[in-house]
Amino acid sequence: MSGALWREAAAQLRHDRLALACAALLAAMALAAIAGPPLLPFRADEIDWAHMAVPPLEAAGHWLGTDRLGRDLLVRTLHGLRVSLAIAFAATLVALVIGVAWGALAGFRRGRTDAWMMRCVDVLYSLPQVFFVIILTVVFGRGPLTILVAIGAFGWLTMARIVRGQALALRECDFVEAAVVGGASTPRIVWRHIVPNLMGPVIVYATLTLPQVILVEGFLSFLGIGIQEPLASLGNLIADGAAEMETAPWMLVVPAACLMLLVFCFNFLGDSLRDALDPRDQ
């Protein structure tokens, strides 16, 4: 992948207003999640005895209302956003590292190594993943680290397949042959010559993995087997809201809207990146 392709992709993205808006919105949400809570007058676990289950904009300072324990919903949603984003980025990073290393090695080695490595991927693919993630949460206890491991354990499979396909093609390029002739070691060839050249598809797929991880984490936390109270995540906030929706619908609407916006922006941005980086369309 040459510099020209990246420049063209950047130029195309600059004209894609919606993609830019999504990127800006995501950046704003991430910034709010990181920097927001300390700036607000309430802590996430602080109980405001005078204002319990107050709707948005009714009590001073509680812009998005409070939950049944009098905790400020804005602060809790920002905390939940922070946890969901942190898990999404960490799990995607795990998937990225394992998937790229596995796929690049398989594609570079070809032959029997490749066949065995990809057979492993096929076998793991055939498992009902969501249910194994649930088993893993039963085994390792519920909490952010378990979710990270459980999602990371399956998240790298598609990445490995994508990367292997690219690596197989790159393997035939002259500059890789030259590096082999020059006596470079396999790890060096893989990391210095093959991996940098397949970053395009990897970035696109990573962008599309982020919302998937957010959804899986939300799913588990909603069921009560993910992130646990008092730690907030978008999933367990939505579950709380669903339990209280007859009396306090805002508790459902606020985190649900936040999650939808997040996932929609990531999906849209990923699609736009794919279109921009796909030379076939140009």
Picking from 38, 87, 47, the residue whose alpha carbon sits closest to that of residue 70 is 47
Nearer to other proteins by C-beta: 107 or 241?
241
Minimum CB separation from other proteins for residue 91, in Å? 16
Which member of 123, 145, 173, 178 binds other proteins (CB under 8 A)? 123
The stretch near other proteins (CB under 8 A) out of 4-12, 55-63, 69-77, 212-220 is 212-220
Picking from 33, 56, 27, 21, the residue whose alpha carbon sits closest to that of residue 254 is 56
Q: Does residue 231 interact with other proteins by CB under 8 A? A: no
Q: Which residue has the tokens 């390792």?
A: 140
Residues in binding contact with other proteins, number by CB under 8 A? 41
DSSP 192: I
Q: Does residue 120 interact with other proteins by CB under 8 A? A: no
Nearer to other proteins by C-beta: 184 or 225?
225
Chain centroid, CA 59 distance in Å? 35
Nearer to other proteins by C-beta: 189 or 248?
248
The stretch near other proteins (CB under 8 A) out of 81-89, 91-99, 120-128, 163-171 is 120-128
The SS3 of residue 50 is: coil
Evaluate the omega torsion of the peptide bond into residue 279 and state whether it is cis, within 30 degrees of 0.
no
Q: Does residue 218 interact with other proteins by CB under 8 A? A: yes
Q: Does residue 140 interact with other proteins by CB under 8 A? A: yes
Q: Does residue 12 interact with other proteins by CB under 8 A? A: no
Minimum CB separation from other proteins for residue 225, in Å? 5
Q: Does residue 41 interact with other proteins by CB under 8 A? A: no
Q: Does residue 116 interact with other proteins by CB under 8 A? A: no
Tokens of 215: 């959804």
Q: Which residues have a Cβ under 8 Å from the Cβ of 217 and sit 6 or more positions away?
A: 84, 87, 88, 91, 147, 151, 226, 227, 233, 234, 235
The stretch near other proteins (CB under 8 A) out of 29-37, 63-71, 95-103, 131-139 is 131-139
Cβ neighbours around 115 below 10 Å, total? 11
Cα 243 to Cα 83, 94, 223, 240, 250: the distances in Å are: 21, 33, 12, 5, 12
The SS3 of residue 114 is: helix
Q: Does residue 223 interact with other proteins by CB under 8 A? A: yes
Residues 243-282 as x/- pattern, contact with other proteins by CB under 8 A: --xx--x--xx--x--xx--xx--xx--------------
Could you tell me if 171 and 189 are in contact, meaning their C-beta atoms sit under 8 angstroms apart?
no
Which member of 99, 107, 200, 241 binds other proteins (CB under 8 A)? 241
> Can you tell me the distance from the alpha carbon of 196 to that of 137, in angstroms, rounded to the nearest whole number?
35
Own/partner pairs, 221-224, CB within 8 angstroms, 24+ separation: none
Q: Does residue 238 interact with other proteins by CB under 8 A? A: yes
Minimum CB separation from other proteins for residue 245, in Å? 5
- Positions touching other proteins (CB under 8 A) are 123, 126-132, 134-141, 211, 215, 218-219, 222-225, 235, 238-239, 241-242, 245-246, 249, 252-253, 256, 259-260, 263-264, 267-268
